[in-house]
Amino acid sequence: MDLTDPRTFIPDPPYRTWARLRRRDGLPFQERREAPGFYSVVRYRDVDTVVRDSTSYSSEGGMTLDTALGVRDPAAGKMIELTDPPRHRRLRKLVSGGLNRSVAQNMDALLRWRVDSWVADAVRVGEVDFVDAVSERVPSAATGLLLGLPEKHWDKLADRASRAVCGSLSADDARVGDLAVRRNSTATANGQLMVHLASLVDHAELAEDGMMRRLVEAEIDGDRLTREEVLLNCLNLAIAGNETTKNATTGGLVAFSRDPQQWQLLRRHPELLDSAVEEILRYTSPVQHLMRTVTRPQTLAGTPLHEGDLVCAWVASANRDEEVFTEPDAFRIDRDPNPHLAFTAGKHFCLGASLARLEIKLVFEALLSRVERITLLGTPVRKPTNLVAAYARLPVELHAG
């Protein structure tokens, strides 16, 4: 099975393939025509090792299958996700001030009434595309508020961020299997997003306490971010903030619709909501993989690795590893413990984890008080990507009760 082809992830990620690979010895290797081959890391313990050990496994050679080409990424050392220690510490220190727990707590009041309104409207209509009606609106608002942008800019930013991740090709377009075409599509979208962000930094009325203004003005011991670093890290926040949370929320609703007993359990025991959020993150794994470049000779899972080798850490596979999770393919909102890697681990642990958890919680909290049953109206429509578990549409009926 070709794990580089986004069509392999439609209608669902290849969980059975990953399960077979987890049972085999060593790391499977896949050749690529247009780029260097790579090793697939599929077991929880090995994925955990790769994402935690930034000394042995560098993120500066590209973080995705479509961008890890055996050379240093142009944004390496400038964007926090593409930077290794010790420079990573500098960027994280300058960026993290606007993404701590208190920021998420303050965001609660700003988001709650909006989420409540969108969910109420969706339930009133009954039959909706949940992506359009709710799940893409929430992270769009959260990211806009976080960055300190006027509301008129939120939707455009979210749309461009989505295209930067997923491109503009549809699943039935034969060209989606061509790496060069995919790279051109996402590179064009990333360029447009950078131009848009530059315009916002220069001309938008930015909130005093928003992340954009914070990044422009941030200073620690006389050290400030360059303009390029500001734009690249705003791009990172826009992409991570919009696409991942949107798809976790959508995937969570799919899971509840396919296992209505879990929805009824949550309705009877709303105190399980925090646990349900963690299970949604594990079960959906909004970020499917992360690429790393090996920096020194070593052995992983019995496979010798050499400097310059590429490894693909399949987070979605790790989160279904039967050695860690009982009945890993079952959606269980009371799962405990739940040491998922949806936000990765180590120095690259997601800065926006608290905010992402809040967004997902607010959506399902609003649904709990209004919805008795959830019915899928046809097959959920996926976007053709192996990077995020992305949905284009989710037709559902929300039964009030």
Which residues contribute to the annotated binding site for heme? 350
State which H helix or E strand residue 290 sits in. Answer: strand 289-294
Pick out the residues of the known binding site: 350
SS3 373: strand
Residue 301 contacts residue 41 (beta carbons within 8 Å): yes
Which residues have CB under 8 Å from 95's CB, separation 6+? 80, 215, 218, 233, 351
User: Rounded to whole angstroms, how far apart are CA atoms 113 and 96?
Assistant: 26
- CA contacts within 13 A on the Cβ side of 270: 10
CB 43 within 8 A of CB 22: yes
Length of the chain: 401
Exposed e or buried b per residue across 32-68, where buried means at least 16 C-beta atoms within 10 angstroms of its C-beta? eeebeebbbbbbbebbbbbbbbbebbbbbbbbbbbbb
Output the CA–CA distances (angstroms, integers) from residue 259 to 10, 194, 214, 263, in the order listed: 20, 41, 43, 7
Question: H or E element: which one contains 391?
Answer: strand 391-393
SS3 39: strand
Which tokens in the block code for residue 172?
């039935």
Strand order in the sheet with 310-314: 29-30, 38-41, 310-314, 289-294, 57-58
